[in-house]
């Protein structure tokens, strides 16, 4: 089973350090995680997604992936 976790797509922070096709694929796959609240850690279409959850819901990804000390800051 393929992963539906946003964490598997974090290589996107390398930006132009990635080959164009890899960067485009990651960006496309990240779009599947977008919610009204920002990126969800788990895809909203995943059986593991919890709309009112913390770890697998719509809010957690931002604080985990772009928190203090993150390469995206």
* Tens digits of residue pLDDT in 24-70: 999 999 999 988 878 888 899 999 888 887 666 666 655 455 544 54
Predicted local confidence at residue 60, as pLDDT: 60
Residue 25 belongs to a domain: yes
Residue 50 belongs to a domain: yes
Residue 70 belongs to a domain: no
Predicted local confidence at residue 73, as pLDDT: 43
Tell me which residue range forms the domain holding 22.
6-65
> What DSSP letter does each residue of 1-57 carry, written as one string?
----BGGGGGGGGGGGGS-HHHHHHHHHHHHTTEETTEE-SB-TTSTT--TT-STTS
Distance in angstroms (rounded) separating the CA atoms of residues 57 and 14: 25
Residue 47 belongs to a domain: yes
Distance in angstroms (rounded) separating the CA atoms of residues 67 and 22: 24
């Amino acid at each position: 089973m393929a992963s539906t976790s946003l964490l598997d797509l974090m290589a996107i922070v390398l930006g132009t350090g990635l080959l164009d096709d890899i960067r485009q694929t990651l960006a496309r796959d990240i779009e599947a995680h977008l919610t009204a609240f920002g990126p969800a850690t788990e895809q909203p279409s995943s059986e593991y997604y919890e709309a009112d959850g913390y770890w697998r819901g719509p809010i957690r990804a931002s604080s985990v992936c772009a928190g203090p000390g993150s390469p995206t800051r």
